[in-house]
Structure 1
């Protein structure tokens, strides 16, 4: 049974990796750049691959990215980037990490619930909206947290306390807020194992959260502070508790329960979602409240493993037919919800990943030689960071060798407009246009 479960879970994971990678490839070849984050993390990977600290010019001249978020685990990107120096490599690595978590979750489900029910749960997890949004958002550090959470919680359910402790303890090196998640995992472990090991894990998580937010991040941040502390508006919540019931927040919570057909509510493991939901809902930034972007990816292994826990432990749910019905329901829910999230785009790739600007993008990129410095907008920065030093237009930057901008939203713009604007930003420097069409303009410093 063990070998059979592993082979079937491996098949589910392989299929997930294919779907994730197909989506990423369609994004890449259609020159879709979701944000500046892929460019930022590519600059980090390039530095680590060349044994340098992560000085990321997209965040600012001389900016050490370890002063933004605490994610030393990203040094593991170095060998992959060294072999395949491309921003696309990071997308493949993320898809691989998410697929590993699919194997872990599906394997547990198959072992505990049987082949069909377990496979349905594995597929439901693979297609869960949190993972879809993470793939769509392109690379972020949470890619490492997802398999670590899966491995830790599976070990916890199987009462492999040492393994659960080790996997969970590594989360503090993925992102500073995950120290609080580790704190709750430790409490759940202490309750289930009836040993002090869980309490030590909780202390480890809290200790690293305090150390990173009060010492490490401020020491490396240009503003000598934890850059995201101001986003935790506890006073605002206390003043107006009704903000906790903002529609996007309520929808996110309801969908977390819905994707497991409510089963996650019958397991104490679901408490592990609270720290992540807390920092997101305390923020005044609406981008944190909903289901888009990568923020919910770390919640997916928690609620699905909690659902498996409930199905395998609750006697009222022990009937084989009922389990099969619930497992199938979860898979159907995931497939139906896919029509509302990122993978819906796979139904019509020609429409959702158009190649209409591909020739223009390639020609504009070809106008920028290797090894130069470039100031640009978000448009194609992920395609420039591998071979140039890239600065973002929104920062105060040194004079670049080239400027590169998407002008498609400014019809009728003169072919020399971007060069002239660069001269205004950098007085005393002359720029000459080297490429211009209806979509992009590129200018070179004379």
Structure 2
């Protein structure tokens, strides 16, 4: 079973077949005589496709509101000095290197550590452009918000084509507040920011039967992160299935895409990443027992549902498709991501929070739209009728989840909008550290220092002796935090002397004196 992150979408836009007719009966009645007779429970008519402003206005408004929401959340979170993890610091160091046309040496991961030896991410070189213009960690959060918002327009615009202006716009809004996207915004920047719009564009092209465009939009996903090659491979198989008998010029396009995706995953994890890794290995390969899973299929199946968090994630994924998405082969594109997450030995991967489900959202909503189209052509009257209700069900599910998600914090005046108690002290301790200093610190203020200093993480061995050691006793991820930053630094770096130069609000800053 496969590994992969990230998400896909959209229904099959093939013309509906003729109404089913009664077969020749035992009494010798000619079926052709009854073929023209009306069927009692006819297929629900699809709404006419909106034209002009109605075709794009709703999705555009949703995309603009989504961009404003994502960016506002990120700015307020940044202003409150909330740091969910060290990832924003890592990617900011990477962007800073690329902005100056340097190798992605990320000292937060270790002295001289090349981040291409951690994950395969060539596409992230484009971050160097906006970062060069706006050299700030917050720039990455804005970029991610805009990329996510762009994907909401892609999904919403196609939903309007299939469902009409009102219902399609509501589906676009449901996608914008879906648990995968808003969870990723709250988790701050990750490389999947680029995968989400690429998946949306590829899946919508697939739904519109623009086969070559679907393949071309999917192909760059292999350069976002190594596991996404498996997502591309799965998408290629779905593309091949959808194309059967419809494109005689490129009958093997989907299979070529599958080979492209699988090949890059193998090449990156077996050759490229180990070649750039300080330990000559792919660090994440040991997290999944591939041989055990392959040789014990029943265990492989049970591992997908052996934890409550996994079950909830699967249920939410199906529910947000209006349950009709299970009829679409597009939902299979989610399998690689689901499998690498659920087979790994990291419990953080199992739940629906953080950024791990972001790539699943384009897949889920594409499957929803495809499922509606397939249901409209079903010979089962009840299923044709449900095709009218599936999208409203998906919208209702997304709306009911919103109060439980991080985005709901924007609706509480005493939460994100309020000034953080630690903000004043955080600004003061940051102002104490000069530009171009070498700083060893925890995750608390790491992202606020990488723009102008050389930052090392306290959790790594063999760091060089820094000019400063900064400890965030409350938000730095310690268990427990050191009580004396100077003593901690002197114990860590034998033969050195440090003195406390700032101690307030849980922040301790020790400066090296010798």
The TM-score by the shorter chain falls in which range?
over 0.9
Which residue of structure 2 lines up, in the alignment, with residue 327 of structure 1? 391
Contact 2:368 2:391 in 1 (8 A): no
TM-score (norm 2): 0.83
Contact 1:26 1:349 in 2 (8 A): no
Which residue of structure 1 lines up, in the alignment, with residue 422 of structure 2? 357
1:375 matches 2:440: yes
Q: Which aligned pairs between 1:34-433 and structure 2 lie closer than 5 A?
A: 34-194=84-244, 195-234=251-290, 237=293, 238=296, 240-241=299-300, 242-245=302-305, 246-315=307-376, 325-352=389-416, 354-396=419-461, 397-408=463-474, 417-433=484-500
Contact 2:375 2:387 in 1 (8 A): no
Contact 2:482 2:488 in 1 (8 A): no
State the secondary structure of the residue aligned to 2:404.
Answer: coil
Which residue of structure 1 lines up, in the alignment, with residue 57 of structure 2? 7
- Displacement of 1:2: 5.2
Partners of 2:359 and 2:57 lie apart in 1 by 25
State the secondary structure of the residue aligned to 2:447.
Answer: helix
State the secondary structure of the residue aligned to 1:54.
Answer: coil
Residues 322/191 of structure 1: CA separation in 2 closer, same or farther (3 Å cut)? closer
Contact 2:322 2:392 in 1 (8 A): no
Q: Which aligned pairs between 1:21-32 and structure 2 lie closer than 5 A?
A: 21-32=71-82
Residues 150/433 of structure 1: CA separation in 2 closer, same or farther (3 Å cut)? same
Residues 408/143 of structure 1: CA separation in 2 closer, same or farther (3 Å cut)? closer
Partners of 1:444 and 1:223 lie apart in 2 by 32
Contact 2:470 2:507 in 1 (8 A): yes
Q: Which is bigger in relative contact order (C-alpha 8 A, separation at least 6)?
A: 2
1:442 matches 2:442: no
Contact 1:17 1:99 in 2 (8 A): yes
State the secondary structure of the residue aligned to 1:404.
Answer: strand
State the secondary structure of the residue aligned to 2:64.
Answer: helix
Partners of 1:408 and 1:18 lie apart in 2 by 30
- Displacement of 1:73: 0.5
Partners of 2:232 and 2:292 lie apart in 1 by 26
TM-score (norm 1): 0.95
Residues 172/116 of structure 1: CA separation in 2 closer, same or farther (3 Å cut)? same
Larger Rg: 2
Contact 2:86 2:446 in 1 (8 A): yes
User: Which runs of no fewer than 5 residues in structure 2 stay unpaired?
Assistant: 1-50, 245-250
Partners of 2:240 and 2:345 lie apart in 1 by 34
Q: What value does the CA root-mean-square deviation take over the aligned residues?
A: 2.2
Query: Which moved further from structure 2: 339-348 or 391-400?
Result: 339-348
Residues 243/200 of structure 1: CA separation in 2 closer, same or farther (3 Å cut)? closer
State the secondary structure of the residue aligned to 2:168.
Answer: helix
Query: Which moved further from structure 2: 351-360 or 299-308?
Result: 351-360
The number of residue pairs the alignment matches comes to: 445
Deviations 1:185-213 (A, max 9, x none): 11111111121011111110111011101
Contact 2:240 2:252 in 1 (8 A): yes
Deviations 1:290-324 (A, max 9, x none): 11111110000001011011213322599999666
Contact 2:323 2:390 in 1 (8 A): no
Task: Please identify which structure carries the higher helix content.
Answer: 1
Partners of 1:299 and 1:331 lie apart in 2 by 16
State the secondary structure of the residue aligned to 1:140.
Answer: coil
Partners of 2:439 and 2:126 lie apart in 1 by 27
Partners of 1:240 and 1:322 lie apart in 2 by 35
